[in-house]
Amino acid sequence: MSGILLLEQALNGLQLGLMLFLLAAGLTLVFGIMDMVNLAHGSLYMVGAYLIATVSAAADSFWVGLGVGVLATAVLGMLLEVTVLRRLYSRDHVTQVLGTFAILLMCNEGVRMVWGSQPISLNPPAALAGPVELLPGFYYPAFRLLIIGVGLATALVLYLLVTRTRMGMQVRAGASNRDMALAMGTNVQRLFTAVFGLGAALCALAGGMLGPLLAVQVGMGESILILAFVVIVIGGIGSIRGALVGALLVGLVDSGGRTLLPMLFEALFSPQVAADAAPAVASILIYVLMATVLAFKPRGLFPAHG
């Protein structure tokens, strides 16, 4: 168990955690302020990744693709909010689940109709495709370092936005006590649309960052959506700080578990048992983490309400 291995795990966990934060931040705000369960959040991530991949390929530049894709997805998100999602705010969660699930199906199929069912490739900028020597003999992929950088920068920007601007104040007020915020004169409709657009932009950013690592394919949103829900439950619904802490926790536990558990199991059992049992236990870890947090803090680590 070398220091380099642990350092690598820490970096991997940080990278995964920051990307989950991008998704969770938008999700927790929508849930906290608009009180809406949005299953279509993962679809915005997927659409964002597809748009970024297409524009990057057409413009032969990752950065142009990223910028255009994020903006386009934000606009799409706001359009979606104004036309359909607005009608779901007053409904109960069960109906919202059905409605946003319907949107999820339509998004998946729409993407399939436009881009086909085969995955498309999104390539990182050529300069960042190779490794960087962080310590003598320890190489870490440059692109993953970029992801960490982008994640940290976004967290900082969001922090400033939420604590230092007027809109941020309204967001916090809305998350804390919606009726009171309404009574105090917040323009609710515009705020909601803006929050949704911001959430969509964050999703697209995450999609553009993770696309080169994973794959841009139909249904990519579903697997990460469930992780995002776990994050916001751990962090506390409505709280961005909670989303960050929760995301980092989940990222570290998940990455660490996937690497260290098989090694542990192999030392204790045979490779076949390790191959069968370790991935299962590693996958369950984050749910165990969530259950533990909820046992001590039933409303998450930093609940916004009350």
Partner 1 sequence: MARPEPSSVSLLQHKLNLRWTLPLLAALCALPWVAAALGDSFYVTLATRILVFALAATSLNLILGFGGMVSFGHAAFVGVGAYTVGILMQHGITSAWLAWPLAMAVSALLALLIGAISLRTQGVYFIMITLAFAQMLYYLAVSLKAYGGDDGLSLPGRSALGGGVELTDTTLYYVTLALLVATVVFITRLLNARFGQALQAIRENEVRMAALGYAVLRYKLVAFALAGALAGLAGALLANQGGFVSPSLMQWSQSGMLMVMVILGGVGHVLGGLVGAAAFLLMEEFLGHMTEHWQLGLGALLLLVVLVAPQGLMSLLKRRAP
Partner 2 sequence: MSLAHLASLRLVAAAALAACSVAAVAQSTEPVRVGLLSTLSGPGAGLGVDIRDGFQLAVKLNDGKLGGRAAEVIVADDQANPDVGRQTADRLVKRDKVDFMTGVVFSNVMLAVGAPTFQSKTFYISANAGPSQYAGEQCNPYFFSASYQNDNMHEAVGKTVTDKGFKRVALIAPNYPAGKDALTGFKRFYKGEVASETYTALNQLDYSAELSKLRATKPDAVYIFLPGGLGINFIKQFVGAGLSKDITLFGPGFSGDEDVIKAVGDPMLGMFNTSQWGHDMDNAANKKFVAAFEKAYGRLPTLYAAQGYDAARLIDAAVRDSKGKLDDKAAVKKALEAAKFDSVRGAFKFNTNHFPIQDYYLRVITKDTKGRITNRTLGAVFKNHADAYVGNCKMPAL
Which residues contact partner 1 by CB under 8 A?
31, 35, 37, 39, 84, 87-88, 90-95, 97-99, 101-106, 108-110, 112-113, 222, 226, 229-230, 233, 237, 272, 276-277, 279-281, 283-284, 287-288, 290-291, 294, 298-299
Instruction: Select 12 or 100, whichever has its Cβ closest to partner 2.
Output: 12
Residue 285 interacting with partner 2 (CB under 8 A): no
Cβ distance to partner 1 smaller for residue 14 or 218:
218
Question: Does 117 contact partner 2 by CB under 8 A?
Answer: yes
Of 178 and 258, nearer to partner 2 (C-beta) is 258
SS3 sequence of 2-55:
CHHHHHHHHHHHHHHHHHHHHHHHHHHHHHHHHCCCCCCHHHHHHHHHHHHHHH
Closest approach of partner 2 to the CB of residue 159, in Å: 28
Question: What is the Cα–Cα distance from 242 to 262, expressed in whole angstroms?
Answer: 30
Tell me how crowded residue 289 is: count the other CB atoms within 10 A of its CB.
Answer: 19
CB atoms within 10 A of CB 64: 14
Question: Does residue 121 belong to the site contacting partner 2 (CB under 8 A)?
Answer: yes
Query: What is the distance of C-alpha 227 from the center of its chain?
Result: 8
Query: Do the beta carbons of residue 75 and residue 67 sit within 8 Å?
Result: no
Q: For residues 126-165, which are near partner 2 according to CB under 8 A?
A: 129-131, 133, 139-143
What is the residue-wise DSSP string for 83-117? Answer: HTGGGGTTS-HHHHHHHHHHHHHHHHHHHHHHH-S
Nearer to partner 1, 124 or 262 (CB): 262
Chain positions contacting partner 2, by CB under 8 A: 2, 4-5, 8-9, 12, 112, 117-119, 121, 129-131, 133, 139-143, 212-215, 217-219, 255, 258-259, 262-263, 271, 275-276, 279
